[in-house]
Chain A
Amino acid sequence: MLKSQGFWLKTAGLFLLRSGRSTAALSLMVVSAVAMLVFLSALDVGVNDTMIRSSTGLFAGHISAAGLPATLAPGVLAVTGVKGVARRVPAAGMLSGNGQFSSVVLFGIDPEAERSTSAFWKKTLAGSFLSPGSRGLYISRQLADALRASTGSVLSFSAGGMAHAKNFTVEGIYETGIDPLDRGIAFCSLAAHPEPQQPWTAAVFLHDGVDPADVIARYRSALAEGEAFKSWSELMPDLRQLIDLNYFSMSLVMVLVFGVVSLGIACAFVIFIMKHVREYGIMKAMGVTPAEMMRLIVMEIMLMNCAASLAGIACGVTAVLLVGSTGGIDLTAFTSYNRYFAVSGVIYPRLTPFSLCSPPALALAFSLAAALWPAVLVARKKAADILRLG
């Protein structure tokens, strides 16, 4: 028994290096499979990122809370990891004009804060979004149609607690394509809101990679209203499910893809080892033990896999970076009517430890499984039988 593994490692390395074309052909399969899976996995993460970014970025934010007291300043919520806080003061009432009536929730907003955080204002169809200090109204197309209004029209808002109705001029008309945002909602600036001291709702927008749960935990420990804050995954269970479903189906695809690829790899491995079977017989005749033989074959496969996997990861990462630097993959044509892609249909693949580690781990597992039969065959058979095979 050799004390050092170095001799077997060197022998395995020489076997791979000097088997030239066979090693290259086999490695190419592993390289391409790993590269493809790294890219697919990153693309999967990118699709989910886009859905979360779109769903939270349009209006709701990553964290929402309702019924916050007017005395609570939005700045208090701007803890580490928070990109911005949008304060919205709702008032339920009736909007009328041109002899038409429609019940609405009128949100008093800070237009500047909305511009730096949310994206619904980008969905302007006519006119413009509100400017700071504006006395105008920003309404959905559905509402404009119902009230037969267009930009410049004067609409009147009245609510139960108001002594007199308040007139607004329509400054802009928008359409998000998302029913809850397009039906029964109107916006005006906080300065023009008839009831600015009403409890407000908060939309908290986070920087990329910040976990909403961490921020909520900080709110709950610091604010009396902490319990009111909920993350997007609590408020949008449909999105949470869709993302989980996406991860599951992509994982399934990855395993299936690698399963198919591994069949090819398995066949190639068997051919690779059987091509050299006589040499294993010669080694056995020289007194190499079955355990050493197994170790040698496993080392050959692991060495080849490690090198091929590293090359595959490099190719996959290069593809991800290349796609990222050239503006992502624009799937707008397939997502324009999908509310989960309301802000953007551009996918930016993103690498995660999982997307980097799972493909090479799969490759190694499948390759070792594929090499098991020839390794056991070589280790268990008598030298004379192996020599006859070769």
Chain B
Amino acid sequence: MVECRSVTKTYHSGRGTLQALRGISLAIAPGTAAAIAGKSGSGKTTLLNCMGGLDWPDSGQVFVNGIDLHTLPQRGLSLFLRRDMGFVFQFGNLLSYLTVFENIAFPLKLNNIPKLELERRTQELLERIGLAGAGPALAHELSGGEVQRVAVARALAHRPKLLLADEPTASLDSATGTSLVRLMFELGRESGCTMVLSTHDSEVMDLADQRLHIRDGMLQEHPGQ
């Protein structure tokens, strides 16, 4: 499902050159829930961005469902993202000017899902994330945990093949974070979605089927896997 081959990525800035990814190769099977752990600055976000087509590696290839993402033209990549990908970010996930309902329905609208089906699916997701009555609320009216649950619902609403979550629990307390990831994995597994998340939290790591460690831009299989 997801395959990285010798992916490298270097950033140049006023502070010098930072080699974020140093020839990473990995494979994640379809339907797997994978977790990537690593210290801050180890390259987790860069790896997820490259896997999701949000950033381009300097060298190497990333295949999702057999497609080399970085050979797609910009428009083709956008259409691929809207159809087959879902993202959850660490913070600032929701579009502030849309309600909870509109946020979850946004990818469905992008994918031209008919209105009745869109409303049914969005309402069902709202119930599944325990926010059935929060549809008309705006993002600033929600707690941090609720925002992340809505982000998970939105990322999975259009039933993508791959869900990428970049430290989705970073701004949450441990218990809330763990329950969020449980919810995410539960919803993702129901639709056969492959999931990759990055985290610092060992409890969250334990929930994953496949655990990976990244250090200084290089991948290490978790010893306990």
Residues of A within 8 A of B (CB): 2-3, 7, 11, 14-15, 17-19, 276, 278-279, 282-291, 382-385, 387, 390
How far is B45's CA from A285's CA once the two chains are assembled, in angstroms?
A: 14
- Contact bitstring B93-116, A, C-beta under 8 A = 1, else 0: 111111000100011011010000
Query: Across the interface, which residues of B come within 8 angstroms of A282, CB to CB?
Result: 87, 89, 92-95
How far is B54's CA from A278's CA once the two chains are assembled, in angstroms?
A: 13
Query: Across the interface, which residues of A come within 8 angstroms of B92, CB to CB?
Result: 278-279, 282, 390
How far is B93's CA from A387's CA once the two chains are assembled, in angstroms?
A: 10
Query: Across the interface, which residues of A come within 8 angstroms of B74, CB to CB?
Result: 289-290
How far is B112's CA from A3's CA once the two chains are assembled, in angstroms?
A: 9
Residues of B within 8 A of A (CB): 49, 52, 54-56, 74-75, 78-83, 85, 87, 89, 92-98, 102, 106-107, 109-110, 112, 138
- Contact across chains for A287 and B97 when beta carbons are under 8 A apart: no
Query: Which of A15, A284, A383, A390 is packed against the most chain B CB atoms within 10 Å?
Result: A383
Query: Across the interface, which residues of A come within 8 angstroms of B49, CB to CB?
Result: 383-384
Q: Which of B54, B56, B98, B110 contacts A2 (CB 8 A)?
A: B110
- Contact across chains for B78 and A290 when beta carbons are under 8 A apart: yes
| Nearest CB in chain A: distance from B18 CB, A | 13
Q: Which of A2, A19, A285, A289 contacts B87 (CB 8 A)?
A: A285
Q: Which of B54, B75, B106 contacts A382 (CB 8 A)?
A: B54
Q: Which of A18, A290, A383, A384 contacts B96 (CB 8 A)?
A: A18
Residue on B with the closest CB to A4?
A: B112
Query: Across the interface, which residues of A come within 8 angstroms of B109, CB to CB?
Result: 2, 7
Query: Which of B55, B89, B95, B138 is packed against the most chain A CB atoms within 10 Å?
Result: B95
Query: Across the interface, which residues of A come within 8 angstroms of B110, CB to CB?
Result: 2, 286-288
| Nearest CB in chain B: distance from A20 CB, A | 9
- Contact across chains for A288 and B82 when beta carbons are under 8 A apart: yes
26 contacts between A and B (CB under 8 A): A15-B97, A17-B97, A19-B97, A282-B87, A282-B94, A282-B95, A283-B95, A284-B78, A285-B54, A286-B81, A286-B82, A286-B107, A287-B82, A287-B85, A287-B110, A288-B78, A288-B82, A289-B75, A289-B78, A289-B79, A290-B78, A291-B75, A382-B54, A382-B55, A383-B49, A383-B54
Provided the pairs A286-B110, A287-B82 are in contact, do residues A14 and B97 lie with their beta carbons within 8 angstroms? yes
Query: Across the interface, which residues of A come within 8 angstroms of B138, CB to CB?
Result: 18
How far is B93's CA from A284's CA once the two chains are assembled, in angstroms?
A: 12
Query: Across the interface, which residues of B come within 8 angstroms of A290, CB to CB?
Result: 74-75, 78
- Contact across chains for A276 and B96 when beta carbons are under 8 A apart: yes
- Contact across chains for A287 and B55 when beta carbons are under 8 A apart: no
Query: Across the interface, which residues of B come within 8 angstroms of A11, CB to CB?
Result: 98
How far is B74's CA from A14's CA once the two chains are assembled, in angstroms?
A: 27
